[in-house]
């Protein structure tokens, strides 16, 4: 498969897609990930997506696979409740 100039950004685009479009109720399929990458002129095959998911897991991201449905991020850097707590703390501070 020929490589595009964006090929080195592939893993970042995959991670961004998972952050924006997936959760426990909305897992994304490998084909959806491939389509997202194709929009950015990055060719991908199913096997390379499986490898990317394994790399993300080894780097500490909580990528889960729900059989017959797809991948999703089980946890995120900040949950909504944590963000609300941070906003409240900043708003109530006196600086």
Query: Per-residue pLDDT tens for 19-54?
Result: 999 989 999 999 999 999 999 999 999 999 999 999
Q: How far apart are CA 76 and CA 59, in angstroms?
A: 14
Instruction: Name residues whose C-beta falls within 8 Å of residue 18's C-beta, 6 or more positions apart in sequence.
Output: 28, 56, 61, 63, 71, 72, 73
Q: Is the pLDDT of residue 2 over 60?
A: no
Instruction: Name residues whose C-beta falls within 8 Å of residue 76's C-beta, 6 or more positions apart in sequence.
Output: 19
User: What pLDDT, on the 0 to 100 scale, is given for residue 4?
Assistant: 65
| Mean pLDDT, residues 9-17 taken together | 95
Are the CB atoms for 70 and 30 separated by under 8 Å? yes
User: What pLDDT, on the 0 to 100 scale, is given for residue 27?
Assistant: 96
Instruction: Report pLDDT digits (tens) over 48-93.
Output: 999 999 999 999 999 999 988 999 998 877 778 888 998 999 999 8
User: What pLDDT, on the 0 to 100 scale, is given for residue 3?
Assistant: 65
């Amino acid at each position: 498969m020929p490589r595009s100039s964006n090929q080195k950004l592939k893993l970042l685009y995959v991670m961004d897609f998972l952050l924006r479009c997936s959760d426990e109720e909305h897992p994304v399929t490998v084909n959806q990930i491939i389509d997202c990458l194709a929009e950015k002129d990055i060719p991908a095959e199913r096997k390379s997506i499986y490898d990317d998911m394994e790399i993300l897991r080894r780097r500490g991201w909580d990528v889960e696979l729900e059989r017959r449905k797809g991948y999703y991020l089980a946890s995120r850097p900040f949950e909504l409740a944590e963000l609300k707590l941070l906003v409240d703390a900043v708003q109530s501070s006196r600086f």
